[in-house]
């Protein structure tokens, strides 16, 4: 079936099942994939506006696509629901939310007591840490309920098409995240004591030691001996004028649409934030055939791994350090974004403004742990532990190992065992959590003969696949066995395995054996065979993106044993062969900014509460009137009153408080809501979910 909103060919992902159902959106007939999220189906059909706010009539659209905010709420068969966690069914009637919706009359259900289920361990979250913990607990024969609000196992793993960093032995480094999700899911099937609850939303932790969970078939009460919170993280937001325009959304939402649902959600993209999430999102966009016009990072260097930043710069994506977004422009959809340079105090510098025509702005300004369930359990004296991003934001490889350790700890405590955790596990966990470390200065390799790898990796990061894959053990390190910088010793046989496995695409192979004047340089390639063709002349770059000459494409072949990775052979002049690290994919003309004459709104107009459209100016006014209790601020401004339960604005309001020079010690925090997700009352009476 042809659909312009879909990705019909991806260099890494296999095509999704060709199974379709019909539905309507605002009376318009549409077709979507069976079981995909309603939000994705609507998006794929070209509808990016999901409604208009009752306060100011502003257009609303997707933001997180992860069930955390309420921006994707639609009226589905008469009921307002978060459309990003509602699977599409044949015949669904879907409407946008225009102001405050009029709810249809619903038949009241008969009340009945919910079923109570006892288990040894309840794990909240079936991502990398939750699945790894469940495996350890299942191996110990303990009863486990593994609950997740998504329709499949894996959490963020199902979005990660790149090969993993970390340790090859401890967390499957060198394998793609999507494949690791499949491997872990298969391993869980070996343990009959593990019960997997998908599409199951944990609503509340109660003082009697029970947990309320909304399942597709109805409301259940679970009484665990031990709670393990592996619920991951939610994306942080950033208040600026235009931050709620449809087209401005989280980088994680983008990866969900592109990598999970294979939706062609964008044509021209700008990215805010140079951490790993933003850098990887830029690369994923290129894989899906989209244009990335730039990335802005407010610090003087990107916080993500250097190999990620180098990789996208080599392909033609400019990175603007010491820059931030001033405003997003548009009404019903994003039309452009303005950035500006900042000084050492992070104040914008007049005259440095640049404007870019884009239809998408990805906000990748960090993550915050989803740990509310754990804190509530601790308050009530319920045995509870945190793991993965719910404990500490780190890479998924670290989350897997963290879950493994937690699983062992809980198994030991519930089975009266001890000493079952190897002595080096805690050290390994810290290594896998470590961010990018020292950066070594670049030094050009002298011209050599024969065949040899060139390693364009200059930062200490937890990653060792190139060292473990070499059949002759020629790539070693004088530093830490996982974090130390890799070094090559003489004796290469030209197998090219190091080129194929490197998660950072940071290794090339130079081969002088056939032609000393134009040696063959092999680079890793994951953008498909439509971008380059045999005999094509391409611009080649050195490690940090500067064009150093041209080369001729000799061949593009699959890398044996490494699915979806290809090896691109280039005939390169010998005087630059040792410096070649990649080829330009995007020409500079597609990333140019345009001259602007746009009046940037004052910052007080920035939306802080996305649900109630409360601005920063409204919050400041109340603070200046002496309000210091967040509950009073909530009642007077409605910030935090919305459907998301304050999950977005609760991290933004403290920033405004600090900007006003007010100490957080003076502030009385919000009173927690009893439930963590909005739920129809009928669910508690035994009525099944719709």
Asked if residue 583 and residue 456 are part of one domain, the reply reads yes
Is residue 554, in this structure, part of any structural domain at all? yes
User: Which is it for strands 537-541 and 582-583: parallel, antiparallel or unpaired?
Assistant: antiparallel
> Element (H or E) spanning 235, and its range?
strand 233-235
Asked if residue 387 and residue 274 are part of one domain, the reply reads no
Is residue 220, in this structure, part of any structural domain at all? yes
Is residue 198, in this structure, part of any structural domain at all? yes
- pLDDT at residue 271 is higher than 70: yes
User: Sorting pLDDT into bands at 50, 70 and 90, what band is 601?
Assistant: very low
Asked if residue 585 and residue 465 are part of one domain, the reply reads yes
Asked if residue 476 and residue 586 are part of one domain, the reply reads yes
Tell me, what CATH number does 269's domain have? 3.50.50.60
pTM attached to this predicted model: 0.90
Is residue 1, in this structure, part of any structural domain at all? no
Report the chain's mean pLDDT, rounded to a whole number.
Answer: 92
- The whole-number average pLDDT for the span 50-58 is 93
- The whole-number average pLDDT for the span 318-343 is 95
- pLDDT at residue 318 is higher than 70: yes
Asked if residue 347 and residue 420 are part of one domain, the reply reads no
CA distances from 546 to 69, 568, 658 (A): 41, 19, 41
End position of a domain, from candidates 432, 459, 474: 432
Measured at the alpha carbon of residue 37, what is the angle toward residues 359 and 61, in degrees to the nearest 5?
35
Asked if residue 133 and residue 120 are part of one domain, the reply reads yes
Is residue 606, in this structure, part of any structural domain at all? no
The residue that leads in pLDDT, 94 or 490, is 94
Provide the pLDDT for residue 602. 42
Is residue 390, in this structure, part of any structural domain at all? yes
Asked if residue 456 and residue 415 are part of one domain, the reply reads no
Provide the pLDDT for residue 242. 92
Asked if residue 586 and residue 457 are part of one domain, the reply reads yes
Q: What is the per-residue pLDDT across 105-142, written as a single tens digit (0 to 9) for each?
A: 767 767 788 999 999 999 999 999 999 999 999 999 99
Q: What is the per-residue pLDDT across 544-591, written as a single tens digit (0 to 9) for each?
A: 889 999 999 999 999 999 989 999 999 999 999 999 999 999 999 999
- pLDDT at residue 2 is higher than 60: no
Provide the pLDDT for residue 110. 72
Q: What is the per-residue pLDDT across 147-156, written as a single tens digit (0 to 9) for each?
A: 999 999 999 9
Asked if residue 489 and residue 517 are part of one domain, the reply reads yes
The residue that leads in pLDDT, 221 or 673, is 221
Q: Burial code of 288-305, b = ≥16 C-beta within 10 A, e = fewer?
A: bbbbbbbbbbbeeebbbb
Asked if residue 382 and residue 339 are part of one domain, the reply reads no
Whether the Cβ atoms of residue 287 and residue 529 lie closer than 8 Å to each other: no
Asked if residue 245 and residue 223 are part of one domain, the reply reads no
- The whole-number average pLDDT for the span 88-114 is 85
Is residue 12, in this structure, part of any structural domain at all? no
Residue 578 belongs to what domain range?
451-591
| Number of domains making up the chain | 4
Is residue 442, in this structure, part of any structural domain at all? no
DSSP conformation letters of 432-444: HH-----BPPP-P
Asked if residue 586 and residue 471 are part of one domain, the reply reads yes
End position of a domain, from candidates 574, 591, 608: 591
- The residues with which 348 forms a beta bridge, in sequence order, are 342
Give the number of other CB atoms < 10 A from CB of residue 90: 10
End position of a domain, from candidates 334, 363, 392: 363
- Residue 95: which residues within 8 A CB-CB, separation 6 or more? 25, 26, 74, 75, 101
């Amino acid at each position: 079936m042809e659909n312009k909103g879909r990705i019909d060919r991806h260099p890494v992902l296999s095509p999704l099942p060709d199974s379709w159902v019909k539905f309507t959106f605002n009376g318009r007939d549409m077709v979507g994939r069976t079981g995909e999220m309603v939000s994705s189906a609507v998006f794929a059909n070209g509808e990016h506006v999901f409604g208009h706010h009752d306060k100011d009539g502003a257009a609303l659209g997707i933001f997180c696509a992860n069930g955390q905010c309420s921006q994707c709420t639609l009226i589905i068969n008469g009921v307002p629901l978060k459309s990003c966690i509602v699977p599409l069914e044949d015949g669904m009637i879907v409407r946008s939310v225009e102001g405050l919706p009029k709810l249809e009359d619903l038949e009241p259900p008969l009340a009945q007591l919910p079923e109570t289920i006892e288990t040894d361990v309840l794990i909240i979250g079936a991502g990398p840490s939750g699945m790894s913990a469940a495996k350890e607990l299942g191996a110990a024969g303990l009863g486990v309920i593994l609950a997740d609000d998504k329709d499949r196992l894996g959490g963020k793993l199902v979005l990660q098409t790149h090969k993993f960093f970390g340790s090859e032995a401890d967390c499957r480094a060198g394998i793609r995240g999507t494949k690791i999700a499949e491997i872990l899911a298969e391993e869980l099937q070996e343990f009959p004591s593990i019960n997997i609850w998908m599409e199951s939303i944990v609503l509340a932790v109660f003082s009697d030691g029970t947990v309320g969970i909304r399942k597709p078939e109805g409301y259940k009460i679970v009484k665990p001996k031990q709670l393990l919170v592996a619920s991951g993280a939610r994306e942080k937001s950033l208040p600026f004028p235009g931050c709620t325009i449809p087209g401005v959304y989280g980088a994680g939402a983008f990866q969900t649409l592109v990598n999970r649902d294979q939706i062609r959600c964008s044509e021209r993209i700008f990215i805010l934030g140079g951490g790993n999430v933003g850098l990887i999102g830029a690369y994923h966009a290129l894989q899906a055939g989209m244009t990335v016009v730039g990335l802005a990072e407010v610090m003087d260097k990107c916080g993500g791994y250097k190999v990620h930043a180098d990789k996208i710069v080599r392909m033609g994506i400019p990175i603007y350090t010491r820059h931030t977004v001033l405003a997003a422009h548009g009404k019903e959809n994003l039309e452009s974004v303005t950035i500006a340079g900042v000084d050492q105090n992070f104040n914008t510098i007049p005259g440095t403004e640049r404007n870019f025509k884009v239809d998408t702005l990805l906000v990748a300004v960090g993550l915050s742990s989803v740990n509310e369930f754990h804190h509530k359990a601790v308050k009530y004296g319920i045995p509870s532990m945190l793991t993965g991003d719910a404990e500490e934001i780190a890479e998924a490889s670290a989350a897997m190992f963290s879950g493994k350790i937690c699983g062992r700890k809980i198994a030991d405590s519930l089975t009266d065992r001890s000493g079952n955790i190897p002595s080096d596990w805690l050290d390994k966990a810290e290594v896998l959590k470590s961010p990018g470390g020292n950066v070594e200065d670049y030094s050009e390799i002298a011209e050599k003969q024969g065949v040899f790898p060139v390693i364009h990796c200059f930062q200490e990061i937890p990653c060792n696949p190139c060292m473990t894959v070499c059949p002759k053990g020629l790539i070693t390190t004088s530093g830490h066995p996982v974090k130390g910088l890799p070094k090559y010793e003489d004796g290469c046989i030209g197998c090219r395995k190091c080129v194929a496995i490197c998660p950072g695409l940071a290794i090339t192979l130079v081969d002088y054996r056939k032609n000393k004047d134009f040696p063959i340089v092999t680079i890793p390639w994951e953008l498909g065979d439509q971008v380059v063709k045999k005999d094509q002349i391409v611009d080649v770059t050195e490690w940090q993106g500067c064009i150093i000459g041209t080369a001729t494409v000799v061949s593009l072949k699959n890398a044996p044993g490494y699915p979806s990775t290809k090896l691109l052979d280039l005939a390169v002049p010998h005087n630059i062969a040792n410096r070649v690290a990649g080829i330009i994919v995007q020409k500079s003309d597609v990333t140019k900014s345009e001259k602007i004459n746009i009046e940037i709104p004052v910052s007080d107009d920035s939306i802080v509460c996305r649900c109630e459209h409360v601005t920063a100016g409204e919050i400041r006014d109340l603070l200046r009137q002496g309000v210091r209790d967040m509950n009073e601020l909530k009642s007077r401004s409605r910030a935090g009153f919305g459907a998301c339960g304050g999950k977005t604005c609760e991290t933004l309001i403290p920033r405004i408080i600090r900007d006003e020079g007010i100490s957080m010690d003076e502030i009385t925090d919000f009173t927690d809501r009893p439930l963590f997700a909005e739920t129809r009352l009928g669910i508690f009476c035994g009525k099944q979910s719709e």
